[in-house]
Amino acid sequence: MEPITQGPHAAEAVLVGNRFVRACRRLPVDRTPVWFLRQAGRYMQEYREVRKHHSLVEICKRPELAAEVTITAAEKLGVDAAIIFADLLLPLEPMGLDFEFQSGEGPVVHRPVRTEEDVVALRTDRAGELGYVARAIEGVANHFHSTLGVIGFCGAPYTLASYMIEGGGSRNYIYTKRMMYNDSSAWRMLLDKLVIVLEEYCQLQVAAGADVIQIFDSWIGSLGPADYADYAFDASRRLVRAVQELGVPVIYFGVETAGLLGQMAATGADVIGLDWRQPLDAGWRAVGHGRAVQGNLDPITLFAPLEVLEERVHQILQAAAGRAGHIFNLGHGIVPGTPVENVQAVVRMVREFMSRAANG
């Protein structure tokens, strides 16, 4: 859908298509779209109710529950996009790795990948088993009928490889980097296998109705620029391009990425997710203004008094300077204990800022 940006229909043009997807493509919008990383989570009473009766993985594997959790969060907040309720680690299972979420600990992979034989044993032919995520996306897409953007997602090769190798979260990524530096054939094979599985997984999600795919490279900030270039960039770039071939925009997100933004943009992703460790305008300059950005409020600002919160929200919107291609979001996910009313207040602040700017 091509926008009409000049002539008598210019004013209506910004209403064609939903504003989130338009912003991903740097098309003009009526106001800045807003959604939140981890908008369906334990900070929300409705989610905690569902979690009383079902484990995290159970919710993910039951499409009607995953769709319900996704829809409830998006409607309660009044956001412009709904991210499908799933988890980064789900593709590990069809690849042959068992994992579980231990309460308060995050994910634990029972038999981490440490040797070339472990990599050889990983399967790439069973991504179809993730069809339950596609069914959930169908439910969400049917519910919203294109009024909201529906976001599918997957982990990036580096971040998923680090979970597979470390067996969980990590501080120093020693096992990961040890394989990366010392056993480059195993490392490359691992990333290649991940790209195969993730590509098929994204294809399932897009076929089911995902408008946009976000690729989470959450832990990429553990690499310096030279290591990113030598060991992770190529696999990310290939995945980004493969997803774009499916016809949807790609958001590429990571944390502690200030030194990597130019390289992340070079993957070709349509939108780069920014964390909050530098001002949005500095981040956008590093990405380049020819690409959209998403971010970048510190999620812990949601615990601040409303005046402080509003000041920070306005600073971000001012830094975006009304340029096409800004999606308001956090710099990382909402944490448990966050007051829901403050998240809702941010949605109002983003809307009101725009209408005030439009009126005067």
Active site residues: 38, 42, 51, 87, 163
Asked whether position 83 contacts ligand CP3 by CB under 6 A, the answer is yes
Q: Could you tell me the smallest distance in angstroms from the CB atom of residue 247 to ligand CP3?
A: 22
Instruction: Name, in order, each residue with C-beta under 8 angstroms of 286's C-beta and a sequence gap of 6 or more.
Output: 258, 261, 262, 265
Asked whether position 153 contacts ligand CP3 by CB under 6 A, the answer is yes
Site track 304-333 with ligand CP3 (rule: CB under 6 A), x = hit:
-----------------------------x
Asked whether position 85 contacts ligand CP3 by CB under 6 A, the answer is yes
Q: Which long-range contacts (CB under 8 A, 24 or more apart) does 118-126 make?
A: 119/186, 119/189, 119/190, 119/193, 120/189, 121/96, 122/95, 122/96, 122/97, 122/190, 122/193, 123/94, 123/95, 123/96, 124/95, 124/193, 124/196, 124/197, 126/94, 126/95
Choice between 87 and 352, CB closer to ligand CP3: 87
**What part of residues 199-238 is at the interface with ligand CP3 (CB under 6 A)?**
216, 218
Q: Could you tell me the smallest distance in angstroms from the CB atom of residue 84 to ligand CP3?
A: 7
Evaluate whether 323 touches 289 at the Cβ level (below 8 Å). yes
Asked whether position 88 contacts ligand CP3 by CB under 6 A, the answer is yes
- When binding is defined by CB under 6 A, the residue of 91, 94, 107, 157 that contacts ligand CP3 is 107
Tell whether omega for the bond before 296 is within 30 degrees of 0, i.e. cis: yes
Q: Please give the Cα distance from 186 to 356 (Å, whole number).
A: 55
SS3 14: coil
Instruction: Name, in order, each residue with C-beta under 8 angstroms of 196's C-beta and a sequence gap of 6 or more.
Output: 124, 127
Cα Rg of the chain, angstroms: 20
Choice between 27 and 73, CB closer to ligand CP3: 73
Q: Could you tell me the smallest distance in angstroms from the CB atom of residue 155 to ligand CP3?
A: 7
Choice between 153 and 252, CB closer to ligand CP3: 153
Q: Could you tell me the smallest distance in angstroms from the CB atom of residue 81 to ligand CP3?
A: 11
Q: Could you tell me the smallest distance in angstroms from the CB atom of residue 41 to ligand CP3?
A: 4
Q: Could you tell me the smallest distance in angstroms from the CB atom of residue 35 to ligand CP3?
A: 9
- When binding is defined by CB under 6 A, the residue of 25, 51, 135, 143 that contacts ligand CP3 is 51
**What part of residues 21-40 is at the interface with ligand CP3 (CB under 6 A)?**
37-40
The tokens for 78 are: 């009044």
The tokens for 345 are: 């207040």
The DSSP line for 147-208 is: SSEEEEEEE-HHHHHHHHHHSS--SS-HHHHHHHHH-HHHHHHHHHHHHHHHHHHHHHHHHT
Asked whether position 157 contacts ligand CP3 by CB under 6 A, the answer is no
Asked whether position 78 contacts ligand CP3 by CB under 6 A, the answer is no
Choice between 119 and 255, CB closer to ligand CP3: 255
By CB under 6 A, name the binding residues for ligand CP3. 37-42, 51, 56, 83, 85, 87-89, 101, 106-107, 153, 169, 216, 218, 333
